[in-house]
């Protein structure tokens, strides 16, 4: 059944929200004030599919990507920059208010820079035995084949072609593949997952493809297939060789912006614990002035951080330790050695660790988050434990999506 609805506002996930019979109806790719024609979405009574825009918002702009509206990577390319930026900052303001958290929210910092430096492409065989390599479609598990993506850093040039070339010889396995590609100083670092065990002949074929596409390194489930150049990145004054499949901030400017905010909040620290440290985007910069102990469950990342710190002159002592902070958070007696804590957990937040921080005597806690909802939950625990939320700065490195990063400072 076709309906005509009025969009009231843009919701937290980037969909337009229409209020129909007292209920919220979600329509992707729409803006507040628009009248749109929609159709039901099977299995989702609160969602509608956009058919046509009867009356467009004056804030609507043409999307810049030919795949927008089909590819699930971007939710918002159709909104003018200023109202989009106001909406994204307000995601933080509203979520904190709902959690009864008082704290100044600074203006949104744009950190898109040159674009994304890492992507994960998916390779699947269609029902007609046609190979598709690309991104997941909006709202489904279908794959949208792509031969270009305008939000990528130019350093990822050749990434899409390499992914197609690697997927083609693996199609006889019949397995769905995930191909993670990261831009590094040495070139493209690629890790292929999902292929299962492969015969030596197939490994040799993949090695030839890697050589033809001048990949810095090709790994399969983290196991080395070929390395032409060490896949390194620069963090501060250190050079880090990435473990296969490493997590990095999505953009170079995003990492630099978050690190600058963290460093500013830690400028009087004498001994910092960097929790969920990864390969050291904060630790290796903070160590230019301060002693740092770094912790993360990823042993490969921790080893890469430690090796980089030892090879870099001029840094204060850095001690890196592999530790699962979800299962074994640092306890108050262990936290007594530090005067400042930095934590940057995955999207699920750091509830177990935060509960220990809340009963510690640490003077300053600096939180970095990629999920404002779990940040608000963790911040509420700290505030209830006697901390004051002094400031929150939202950072937009995932432009065109509802994802927002933030850096916050707490003082006991």
Give the residue-averaged pLDDT of 200-205.
95
Q: What is the pLDDT of residue 9?
A: 97
- Residues 6 or more apart from 233 whose CB is under 8 A from it? 184, 185, 239, 240, 242, 248, 279
Give the residue-averaged pLDDT of 5-16.
96
User: Is 370 tagged catalytic?
Assistant: yes
Residues 361-400: tens digit of each pLDDT: 999 999 999 999 999 999 999 999 999 999 999 999 999 9
Q: What is the pLDDT of residue 141?
A: 83
Q: Which tokens belong to 337? A: 């050695």
Q: Which tokens belong to 310? A: 């030892």
The full set of domain ranges for the chain reads 3-60, 86-112+249-411, 118-232
Q: What is the pLDDT of residue 49?
A: 94
Handedness of CA 329, 332, 335, 339 (dihedral sign): positive
Question: What is the rounded average pLDDT for all residues in the chain?
Answer: 96
Q: Active site residue: 71, 266, 277, 370, which one? A: 370
Do 325 and 350 contact (CB within 8 A), yes or no?
A: yes
Nearest to 355 by CA among 375, 382, 374, 376: 382
What's the CATH architecture for 86-112+249-411? 3-Layer(aba) Sandwich (3.40)
pTM of the model: 0.95
287 versus 1: the higher-pLDDT residue is 287
Give the residue-averaged pLDDT of 277-296.
98
Q: What is the pLDDT of residue 98?
A: 96
Q: What is the pLDDT of residue 1?
A: 85
Residues 18-60: tens digit of each pLDDT: 999 889 999 999 999 999 999 999 889 999 999 999 999 999 9
Please tell me if the domain spanning 3-60 has the same topology as the one spanning 86-112+249-411: no
373 versus 103: the higher-pLDDT residue is 373
CATH number of 3-60: 2.40.50.140
Residues 60-69: tens digit of each pLDDT: 999 999 999 9
What's the CATH architecture for 118-232? Beta Barrel (2.40)
Element (H, E) at 160: helix 159-170
Q: What is the pLDDT of residue 130?
A: 86
Nearest to 156 by CA among 185, 123, 181: 181
| Residue 220 Cα distances to 169, 283, 306, angstroms | 14, 29, 24
State what percent of residues in the chain have pLDDT above 90.
92
Residues 122-180: tens digit of each pLDDT: 999 877 778 999 999 987 888 999 989 999 999 999 999 999 999 999 988 788 999 99
Q: What is the pLDDT of residue 118?
A: 97
């Amino acid at each position: 059944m076709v309906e005509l609805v009025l969009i009231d506002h843009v919701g937290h996930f980037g969909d337009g929200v229409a209020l129909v019979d007292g209920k919220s109806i979600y329509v992707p790719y729409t803006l507040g004030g628009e009248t749109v024609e929609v159709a039901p979405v099977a299995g989702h009574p609160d969602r509608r599919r956009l058919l046509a825009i009867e009356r467009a918002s004056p804030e609507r702009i043409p999307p810049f990507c030919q795949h927008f509206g089909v590819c699930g990577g971007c939710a918002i390319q159709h909104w003018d920059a200023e109202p989009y930026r106001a909406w994204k900052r307000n995601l933080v303001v509203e979520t904190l208010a709902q959690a009864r958290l008082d704290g100044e929210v600074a203006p949104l910092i744009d950190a898109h820079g040159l674009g994304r430096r890492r992507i994960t492409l998916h390779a699947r065989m269609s029902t007609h035995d046609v190979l598709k390599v690309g991104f997941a479609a909006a709202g489904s598990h279908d794959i949208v084949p792509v031969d270009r993506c305008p939000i990528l850093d130019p350093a990822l040039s050749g990434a899409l072609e390499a992914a197609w070339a690697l997927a083609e010889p693996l199609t006889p396995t019949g397995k769905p593949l995930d191909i993670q590609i990261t831009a590094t100083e040495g070139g493209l670092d690629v890790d292929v997952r999902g292929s299962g065990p492969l015969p030596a002949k197939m490994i040799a074929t993949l090695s030839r493809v890697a050589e033809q596409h001048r990949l810095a390194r090709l790994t399969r489930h983290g196991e080395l297939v070929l390395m032409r150049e060490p896949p390194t990145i620069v963090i501060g004054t250190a050079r880090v060789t990435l473990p296969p499949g490493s997590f990095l901030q999505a953009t170079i400017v995003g990492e630099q912006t978050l690190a600058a905010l963290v460093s500013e909040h830690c400028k009087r620290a004498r001994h910092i614990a960097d929790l969920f440290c990864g390969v050291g985007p904060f630790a290796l910069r903070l160590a230019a002035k301060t002693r740092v102990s770094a912790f993360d469950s990823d042993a490969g990342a921790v080893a890469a951080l430690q090796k980089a710190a030892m090879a870099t002159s001029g840094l204060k002592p850095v001690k890196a330790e592999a530790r699962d902070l979800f299962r074994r958070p640092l306890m108050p007696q262990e936290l007594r050695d530090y005067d400042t804590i930095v934590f940057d957990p995955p999207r699920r937040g750091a509830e177990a660790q935060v509960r220990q921080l809340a009963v510690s005597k640490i003077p300053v806690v600096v939180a970095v988050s990629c999920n404002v909802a779990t940040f608000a939950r963790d911040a509420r625990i700290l505030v209830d434990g006697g901390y004051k939320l002094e400031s929150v700065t939202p950072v937009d490195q995932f432009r065109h999506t509802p994802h927002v990063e933030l850096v916050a400072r707490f003082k006991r």
